[in-house]
Structure 1
Amino acid sequence: MRYFRKENTSAIVSGNLSYENVSDRNKIRKALIKEQSGFCAYSERYIKHTDSVDIEHFDPREKNTTNDGYYNWYATLHWLNSHKPKFIEPFLPILIPYDIDIKDRIKYEDGIFVPLNADDIEAQNLIDFLGVNKAEVYSDRAKHINRIRTLKALCADNDLFLRKMIEDQDNLSFATALESVFELDVDDLIEKSLAL
């Protein structure tokens, strides 16, 4: 799974943006999408202009409390947010999505996300809570990987393939799966695609 760094230098923090202030919500949403390089924090799918995107409160217990804030907010696709469980308690203890060790604790294998250590309850709870292996997400991810396989097969060489990958950021959706299947450095490709 991707690690979405949370920084005290975020425009959300420095701008003192508040979810409670309705006029700040669009600014928060845009800032989160930018910080997440244009990807849904949970599904890792590229967010398109026509997608409905929510400011997701990772821990629902904190919403509308003084504990809610930047470190609890993520930009997510509405569908995924609306299909996430309403209560976090059955999934505690849980790994936090901005935990720097997330890549060392969760891997993509055989089309699904699994903990690296089978005894890592926090990692398994995060996978289950976010629903990243739900049938619909699994299907979208598998179709995307197959499209990228076809693209790679049609490209005469690896340089052409990499150029095609960065021409459309949507190609970089499901980053962890792409890294696993194609041994790509998606962060590097995202950087190159943003420079276009």
Structure 2
Amino acid sequence: MRKVIKDNDSEIVTENLNYIEGNSNNNSKISKILYKEQKGFCVYTEEYLGRADARDIEHFNPNFKGTIDDSYSNWFLVKHQWNKEKSSKWQDYQPILYPTAIDFNERIIYDSGDYRVSNLDDDEATNLIKLLKLDDIILADERKKYIQRKTKELSLYGETAEIFFKVLIDDDIKQISYLRAIDAEFDIDIWNLLPNPQ
């Protein structure tokens, strides 16, 4: 997971959109904007959200949902399964680091396929890792295998990492996963190679 940057000029802000429970037309518009801003990737898993993937507008702090405190800064588009698993555990993991924290990437470190805190006394970062299961062994193993496959493919391809990943993106964006891992392992800025979805 990487730090999430929210756009002050987001359509959600400029159009003053509010999440309305049960209003699928309204919420679908918010979902589409978040999808575009996140370039089609789940904030938590950093996997591409394909057409068949169940996805949710995640209210990061679920206590804000349905209140005046709920807003664009609290909303992320995520895979349904991760939202479902998180929702009942919120109170068990407080205080917590927000995905939009300025120092997010310094406090939660990517380390060869794993995520860990940079400071063992950082309760907020530790709690976020536990709440979102960023340290989940199966997910970490999938990240590591993905990086190993792409490293092998890149060596066979014989081009720079930037060209290699640009070809993958142009061919089928679903081939791209684990954005922060790609950045760290291949020393490229994958985010800026990704197209903006229509």
TM superposition score category, shorter chain reference: 0.7 to 0.9
**Would the alpha carbon gap of residues 63 and 87 (structure 1) be closer, same or farther in structure 2, given more than 3 Å must change?**
farther
Separation of aligned partners in 1, 2:138 and 2:11: 33
Task: Give unmatched runs, 5+ long, in structure 1.
Answer: none
Partner of 2:175: 171
Map of 1:184 onto structure 2: 188
Identical aligned residues as a percent? 37
Provide the residue aligned with 1:161 in structure 2: 164
Q: What is the CA distance between 1:194 and its match in structure 2? A: 4.4
Deviation at 1:85, TM superposition (A): 4.6
Q: TM-score, normalising length from structure 2?
A: 0.87
Which deviations, in whole Å up to 9, do the C-alpha atoms of 1:104-124 show, x marking residues without a partner? 211111321111222211111
TM-score, length basis structure 1: 0.88
Alignment of 1:1-196 (within 5 A): 1-20=1-20, 22=23, 23-158=25-160, 160-167=163-170, 168-190=172-194, 193-194=195-196
Q: Which amino acid aligns with 1:10?
A: S
CA contact 1:148–1:171 (8 Å) conserved in 2? no
User: Compared with structure 1, are the counterparts of its residues 40 and 162 closer, same or farther at alpha carbon in structure 2 (3 Å cutoff)?
Assistant: closer
The answer (yes or no) to whether the contact 1:106–1:116 under 8 Å persists in 2 is: yes
Aligned CA-pair RMSD: 2.0
The Cα shift of 1:160 comes to 4.7
- Is contact 1:106-1:114 (8 Å) kept? yes
User: Could you give the per-residue CA deviations for residues 40-72 of structure 1, whole angstroms, max 9, x where no partner exists?
Assistant: 011111111221110011111111222112111
Q: Which stretch shows the higher mean deviation, 165-174 or 46-55?
A: 165-174
CA offset digits 1:15-41 (Å, max 9, x no partner): 222211612111111111111121101
Q: How many residues align?
A: 193
Q: Following the alignment from structure 1 to structure 2, what is the Cα–Cα distance between the partners of residues 59 and 162?
A: 34
Instruction: Answer whether contact 1:44 1:173 (CA < 8 A) is retained.
Output: yes
Q: Which amino acid aligns with 1:184?
A: I
Which is further off, 89-98 or 14-23? 14-23
Residues 121, 50 of structure 1: alpha-carbon distance in 2 compared, 3 angstrom cutoff: same
In the alignment, structure 2 segments of 5+ residues that lack a partner are none
Give the 3 Å change call, closer, same or farther, for CA 194–74 of structure 1 in structure 2.
closer
Dislocated runs of 4+, deviation >3 Å: none
| Residue 119 to residue 188, structure 1, CA distance change in 2 (3 Å) | same
